[in-house]
Structure 1
Amino acid sequence: MQFQDRLTDFIKNEREIFQSYNTGINWDEDVWYVKNWLFHRGGENSISFKTQSKILKTFPDGFEIPPSQALPCPYIDFTKAVIVYLQRTKNINYMAVRTYAIECRRLHLIMHQRGETSPYNLTRWHFEETINILKAVGYKNIFDAAANLQVIAELIDKKELTEYPLNFKHGLKAGHKYFEYKTLKEIDIEDKRKDEEKLPSLEAMKAYALCTNNPINESEEILLRTIDLLIAMGQRANEVALLPYDCWVEKAVIGKDGQVVKDAYGGIILDVGIKYFAEKQFQSRVHWLAEQDVPFARRAVERLKALTEEPRKIANWQEHNPGKLWKLNPEDKITDDDLMQFIQYKHVFNLQNFLKVNKVTPVLIDKNPDRGVRFVQGGYQKRYLTRFHFRIADVESVLLQKLPDHDALKEKVNGRWKTVLKTSELLCISFDGAFNFKERATVFRVYPRRVTVKDINAALGSVNSLESIFQRRGLTEADGSKIVMTSHQPRHWRNTLYELAGMSNVQQALAMGRQRLDQNPTYQHTTLKERTQSQVDFLTFNSVADKVNFLHNGIRNNKIMGSITDTYNFLKKEKGIETAESFLKTHALALHITPFGGCTHDFSQEPCQKHLQCWNGCSHLHRTNEPGELERIKEQLELNEKVLKEMRYNSEEYGSDVWIKDLEKKIENLKKGLKLKPSSSPIQVFPDGIQMTIPLDHKRSSSVSE
């Protein structure tokens, strides 16, 4: 079979598979609206097969730009077949599918320079030249683009769609924090915050506080209260924008004895949280709020419920009456004045033009109405002398064409999409057009929709074409520049606060709805001084007593975090201060002085990021004949078995299964260590364990410059 025939068969096969999905998408269209195929939480749900749309922001000098039109045949069908094949074989989501389509269109830019229109013509040069163009224009995510191009090239070679194999390998290295290591000598400012551009400035936070406590109108307040929740929770923007209406969760704190815990005044102590649907690993979770965040979040939720009552009622009616826009009788007539209650243009004249453009013909024209409405045109003041009467059915048929889909959140179950939340079931909704504050914009009070990430970013100043909440009030940065925040900065800001407060990496990951602990450092924007302050404090101790006093005071004031502090606070609340202090004097008598600071953390609860988790199979751990060693191992085993029992009893918290497995493995290792009988020489506990220290001859380079 010739390669031309293989390409034809490849396209035909993928087209037949795609059409069997019954998505309602026409294969031959140059833009696919894919909501029924690839659900996406964001505002966009289309994939373009046109030559220019969103490929590059700029082009190199002398580069011939093709006219804006559909990709030529057969290349357009090849592009569609590629994304269908990759989606079904890799099970990728909307954003990944759209990215592969963009890379195919970038390849066509290179083909266009030589007048080529068929995938037959593709060679390794086309792929290499595409990367060169991206380098020339300073494309930020060039490694990702190159990796995607390599996937496309490998698919072409696998299916043998060209005369000769491409054998394309991009050879670029991914940017990684490991390669940005700096020695202390290279860091000249100890107060400089790591990646501080990812955090909002102090002026921005002060300005936001002023805005959120003084909303200009109800539409703006809907946006402000949504952003309040973004700040209070620290979740991803699309998780906050899709909070359910009944998101508020309160539950009584239950003590060890199974009884409700009460405060000193007899009031029930409550844990307060907000239910949300995680964007990654789709799950319903609860973000439990810190005590100081509860009033802030409560105000936001309560005000949103009150402010969104009208759009919620309309959305609910439309959801229960598909194909209908409103309760009006289609056969009745409606004047343009009455229609302005539903479609709020700046002037009636604009509404009349809108209906005229959409070919809605008035059934009656009143040329001498007693309207009394005036407007200025060309410097002259005029009166509206004509009132139009329209048939309601004609107006409704036009408006229904742009009615948003009310399936706000979907989940794929057994290969079929299931609606989880409709528009009326969301907390953060408004009418279309309500957030355009730069001038009096058109508000369609027949189109209830959810708050989007773009709405949030526009309010925070990240969308240049729209006026931000700061610009409306004349608020700027300290140097007079525009205040610009993004919807993701509050997440970085809150995670940094958690790090400064001393929360463990496990606690931070759970609070942020994060599955991987190694992602935490990306969100921890601390200064060198803040990261080393604890080490500096240790150097000031004059005696062991000073060190122990420092430890005790840190635990009492919650400045030192870990299981000892948690136990102390629990005993103080449940058993009283006397029992808590007794525990402190008995168990908090030592600090682990490590190269990374002082540590009182219970390592059975969290793998150490600096590889000090000895009982997780470290090859450097040895049993000796040191006095008290056997007793300490038994005590550690007993403690772990007790913790495991409690974890199994209270295993509703998200991620608890991971820590249960960790505890089970540690208990198994502790029992193994107890069986060893050391003599005069130490015995290696885990001879086949994890090698934490890399031999010198295996290191890429030293991490220490001196």
Structure 2
Amino acid sequence: MTSAFDQFIEDGKVLAGRHGLSWDAPYDPHTGAIPKTHWWDLGTAAGKVERSRKLISTFAANYAAVAAVGSVTGRDCSGVMTPAWISFFKATALHDLFVKGRTPANFTNNISDSLRILAICAGDTPPPLLSASIVSAAYNAALIASPSAKRASTLKALIANWLDGTGIADQRPLAQYCTPDPSNTLALEREKRIETTLRRQVDSKRPDALRSDLSQVHYAEKLPNEAALAELIRIVFSASPHTFSDLIRFHQARILLATGFRVGELVSLPSNCLIVEQPAPTNPRLFGPLTPIVMLRHYAEKQMPAGRGFELVEAIQHVPPLLVPTVMSTVSTVLRATEPLRRLAMAQRATGSLFPDLQPEALISWTEAYTRASGMMQVTVSEIPQSLKDAYREAYDVVALNAIRQHQARALVSSSVSPRVRDYFRRVEIDRQGRSLLRDSEGSEFLLEKRERLAGRTPFVRVGELEEYIREALPTKLPELRLSRSDRGKIGLEDRLFLYPGRAVAEAKHDAIIDIERYFSVQYASTADLEQQLGGIGGGRLFQRYGDSDDERGHKINPHSLRHLQNTELFSRGVADTVISKRFNRKDTDQSYVYDHRKLAEHLEEMEPEKARLAKTMLGPKAREAFDLIRGGRITGPVVSTFQRIQREEGDEAAFEFLNAEAGALHFTPYGFCLNSFAASPCVKHLECFNRCSHLVRTDAPEEQKNLTDLSRRYEIHIERLRTKPSKAPNYITQLAHAEERLAGVKAALAQAPGPPVFPEGSSLHAEVGRAR
């Protein structure tokens, strides 16, 4: 063993002890499974509280990895890592988390699987003694272990960083041997996928490609689709949410539109996020009170230095005055709606019980137990009146919720219990291997057969037993009572702004009402949920539920694209890059330009601000449009040549005056833009531009493309008719030649890209007609 390897392991042991992790965790040597009590929860160790825990629960590779290694090496291999590799595996996890300062997910989602493949491929060979053949075999196994070949690219990176870069490997550099086997067709195919992905990533970081179209947007695919954005705005500001969870999601989207937060920053907003300052005016009698300054306190991502100081770093974003009403009303609405959930979460933390208002030995009716465990308010066969549902969903107020509760309490006197209650406790009995949760009024076991009638009896449930069942059988519904660390102290569930009932799928699926005052499961919003609601596969779920047409129901938006959009709009409005970078919690201005997707015309204006301001004040609408086309090099012609000559000789002001006078004559036709001026005389060949007129220039207007396509189709039909019915008339050949010539011109126009003349070698039809006179 090398001293570098020994030191790496010793440092790992120190890090494990410092963060409360047991280094010598026991495991099954045959399966690699670690006992649950000894699992490493990397998120908890780092102070990062997440619903999806990042765990090390086994020292074995998965079946696909073992099969891939066997396929490459041609031998049966154990899926469990050897002790030396287990030590290296644990030390790498700790160094990645606490030295490199990366997230727990980086190890569990990226490094872990690739490192397991390398370990089982190496077998008894320890990390320092790795050879080129082992690395090559592991790389090829990683290539075929997953369709995306992501594990292979990660394997190459971890060898370069953790074995070559740290000096642990004796025969370094080893990363150079991460190459596909020429005889393995599948490995070669997966290698091509890696190359394609790398090429795409490199291309996205290159300088801007040349853009010939003034309206061309830089990396437009990173901006939200306009129709989808308009539909999202309509939904979250106009539609009525059908469920409590959708109410929270609507307001999340409103804040996202107003701030451009990262999704993680949005869902982690604290309940005290709103900051309102009343500045004192210098002379209140003269100027009156100043407008309040409104800011949003949030936890900024990507702020932690290496070594992980704190998990959550507080930051402030100012809210523009135009958006203050939206932001303030959104925050106040969410705080009011989630107040019952917040109170319950606080009580759960204080008592350690899921039902803090009840004693563990207390007996409650099975209908109340059903509501507290599932959240469902309807416990009888008597349906909740639609009027009560509508009253509650109008404002999601607890007063209306109490009216529904009273309705069901009255219905219990005259109606039977809903079959769903009976079915629920039947499933509980199955989960408990035949042991019923139900008790009689004395606390004895209450056995209820499948079709047995109650006959006036009322089953009860002991609170402590119900809570024990929930903790064992429903772990994904448990409220997250772990505390997150921040630079201002501990952050609990009750300190979050966006709360909703956990896994309340019955709201949307069965039009159910959830009792948010009694349902034990309180959860905070997650990034995965919002991404799925706005941009899920096949369309965002909010669009599917609230869209008015099939097209609208198919929309989807990447939430992060709204950050790109706001960044671009701020640049378009002339906001300084330093201000934009500060708004989005960036450490320098470079990243703000990565998010800049302005059109070419806007970039040109930024490069010549004085000329842009003069054009804005002097030019009329048509002249301004012509100026943009000229400046982008999209049109040429006599007027353009004269404009450019005046601009060179007499300056911008004289050139703009000329363009104002001539621009009225420059005009758009149904088939493109005409460069000639008809101020003196009209064109008698008007609308025959496609007959090889040198003044015709295509634009990017959709209507223009449609007009040319329709015209081409009509000419084709006309020519086909002439050919199917030939004639000996003297004008037949002339008519056919005329139609074919026009069709060729139309097709040439269709094939031409916007910008350059369609017929650069053509003639001026206007000039020819003038000479004919």
From 455, 468, 483, the counterpart of 2:529 = 455
Residue 372 (structure 2) pairs with residue 362 (structure 1): no
Question: Partner of 2:47 in structure 1?
Answer: 39
Q: TM-score, normalised by structure 1?
A: 0.62
Choose 1 or 2 for highest CA Rg: 2
Q: 2:591 aligns with which of 513, 516, 519?
A: 519
Q: 1:168 aligns with which of 175, 178, 181?
A: 175
2:223 to 187, 192, 199: 199
1:446 aligns with 2:520: yes
Contact 2:577 2:589 in 1 (8 A): yes
Asked whether the equivalents of residues 115 and 155 of structure 2 are also in contact (C-alpha less than 8 Å), the reply is no
* Within-5 A mapping of 1:211-290: 211-212=235-236, 213-214=238-239, 215-254=241-280, 258-259=282-283, 266-281=288-303, 282-290=312-320
Q: Which has the higher strand share?
A: 1
Per-residue CA distance 1:208-249 (angstroms, 9 max, x = gap)? 123212212222101111221122111122222222222212
Aligned to 1:404: 479
Matched, 1:302 2:332: yes
How far is the alpha carbon of 1:177 from its aligned partner?
Answer: 5.8
Counterpart contact for 2:81–2:116, Cα < 8 Å:
no
- Residue 468 of structure 1 and its aligned partner are, at CA, apart by 0.9
CA–CA distance in 2 between the matches of 1:139 and 1:421? 39
CA-based RMSD: 4.6
SS in structure 1 at match of 2:536: coil
**Quick one: which amino acid aligns to residue 497 of structure 1?**
E
Distance 1:61 1:536, change over 3 A: farther
Tell me the secondary structure at the aligned position of residue 269 of structure 1: coil
Distance of aligned partners of 1:108 and 1:313 in 2 relative to their CA distance in 1, 3 Å threshold: closer
2:566 is aligned, of 494, 506, 514, to 494
Q: CA contact under 8 A between 2:54 and 2:105: conserved in structure 1?
A: no
- The answer to which of 332-341 and 299-308 deviates more is 332-341
Q: Which amino acid aligns with 1:492?
A: H
**Distance (Å, rounded) in 2 between the aligned partners of 1:494 and 1:67:** 55
Deviations 1:232-276 (A, max 9, x none): 111122222222222212223456xx456986xx44321112111
Check conservation: 1:235, 1:491, Cα contact below 8 A.
yes
Show the 5 A alignment for 1:313-328. Answer: 313-323=343-353, 325-328=355-358
Amino acid at match of 2:48: H
- Indicate the SS of the match to 1:277: strand
CA-to-aligned-CA distance 1:149-206 (integer Å, 9 cap, x gap): 3112236x6345x6x445435799894468634553xx35442322222222112112
Q: Which runs of 5+ in 2 are unaligned?
A: 27-33, 180-194, 304-311, 377-419, 442-449, 620-651, 653-773
Partner residue in 2 for 1:528? 600
Contact kept? 1:235, 1:512, Cα under 8 Å: yes
Would the aligned equivalents of 1:103 and 1:148 in 2 still touch at CA under 8 Å? Answer: yes
Structure-1 separation of matches of 2:262 and 2:285: 33
SS at match of 1:329: coil
- 1:472 corresponds in structure 2 to 545
- Structure 1 residue 308, shift from structure 2 partner: 0.3
Q: Is the 8 A contact 2:43 2:50 kept in 1?
A: no
CA contact (8 A) 2:71 2:141 kept: no
| Residue aligned with 2:242, SS | coil
Counterpart Cα distance in 1 of 2:560 and 2:458: 48
Q: Aligned to 2:45, what secondary structure does the other structure show? A: coil
1:108 paired to 2:116: yes
Mind listing any 5+ residue stretches in structure 1 that lack a counterpart?
A: 367-376, 413-417, 552-590, 592-706
Deviations 1:628-681 (A, max 9, x none): xxxxxxxxxxxxxxxxxxxxxxxxxxxxxxxxxxxxxxxxxxxxxxxxxxxxxx
CA distance in 2, matches of 1:398, 1:67: 43
Q: Matches of 2:285 and 2:78 in 1, distance apart?
A: 67
Alignment of structure 1 residues 523-672 onto 2, 5 Å:
523-533=595-605
Q: Distance in 2 between matches of 1:190 and 1:41?
A: 47
1:392 to 459, 463, 485: 463
* Residue 427 of structure 1 pairs with residue 497 of structure 2: yes
1:691 maps to what in 2?
none
How far is 1:12 from its partner?
A: 6.7
Residues 147-186 of structure 1 aligned to structure 2 (within 5 Å): 147-154=157-164, 158-159=167-168, 164-168=171-175, 175-176=201-202, 180-181=206-207, 183-184=209-210
Q: Distance in 2 between matches of 1:449 and 1:328?
A: 21
* CA distance in structure 2 between the aligned counterparts of 1:523 and 1:490, rounded to whole angstroms: 11
- What does the per-residue CA deviation read over 1:262-309, in whole Å, with 9 as the maximum and x for residues that have no partner? 86xx44321112111222335433211112211221221111011101
Q: Corresponding residue for 1:330?
A: 360
Spell out the pairing of 1:5-44 with structure 2 (5 A cutoff).
11=9, 14-15=12-13, 17-23=15-21, 27-28=25-26, 29=34, 31-40=39-48, 42-44=50-52
User: Could you tell me whether the CA contact under 8 Å between 1:65 and 1:109 is conserved in 2?
Assistant: no
Q: Is the 8 Å Cα contact of residues 262 and 268 (structure 1) preserved in structure 2?
A: no
CA distance in 2, matches of 1:113, 1:69: 9
Q: Which amino acid aligns with 1:452?
A: S
**Corresponding letter in the other structure for 2:235:** C
Q: Spell out, residue by residue over 1:81-119, the C-alpha distance to the aligned partner (whole angstroms, 9 max, x if none).
A: 2222444443444244435xx435314335656877864
Cα contact 1:70–1:76 (8 A) shared by 2: no
Which amino acid counterpart does residue 424 of structure 2 have in structure 1? N
Counterpart-to-counterpart distance in 2, 1:548 and 1:467:
40
Instruction: Using the TM superposition, give the Cα deviation of residue 520 of structure 1 relative to its aligned residue in structure 2, in angstroms.
Output: 0.5
The amino acid across from 2:467 in the alignment is E
Structural mapping, 1:111-150, within 5 Å: 112=120, 119=127, 122-127=130-135, 137-139=147-149, 146-150=156-160
2: CA distance between counterparts of 1:518 and 1:96? Answer: 25
Shift of 1:328: 1.1
CA distance in 1, matches of 2:62, 2:316: 39
After TM superposition, give the deviation of residue 339 of structure 1 in Å: 0.9
Is the CA contact 2:428–2:436 (under 8 Å) kept in the aligned structure 1? no
Equivalent position amino acid for 2:338 in 1 = T
Deviation of 1:354 (Å) = 3.2
The change in CA–CA distance for 1:69 and 1:285 in structure 2 (over 3 A counts) is farther
Residues 1:344 and 2:384 aligned together: no
Q: After superposition, what is the alpha-carbon deviation per residue over 1:401-433, rounded to whole angstroms, capped at 9, x for unaligned?
A: 543333453137xxxxx8432211221111211
Distance 2:125 2:40 in 1: 21
Letter in 2 for 1:469: L
User: What is the match of residue 185 of structure 2?
Assistant: none
Deviation at 1:453, TM superposition (A): 0.8
Looking at structure 1, the residues matched to 233 and 59 of structure 2 have their Cα atoms a distance apart, in angstroms, of 44
Whether the 8 Å CA contact 1:33–1:46 is kept in 2: the answer is yes
Percentage identity across aligned positions?
16
Sort the Cα spacing of 1:477 and 1:125 in 2 relative to 1 into closer, same or farther, 3 A.
farther
Query: Where does residue 81 of structure 1 map in the other structure?
Result: 91
- Is the deviation greater in 131-140 or in 65-74? 65-74
For residues 429-482 of structure 1, what are the alpha-carbon distances to aligned partners after superposition, in whole Å with 9 as ceiling and x for unaligned? 112113676624997921212111112112113367x9711111345785x783
Question: Is the partner of 1:469 in helix, strand or coil?
Answer: helix
2:410 is aligned to: none
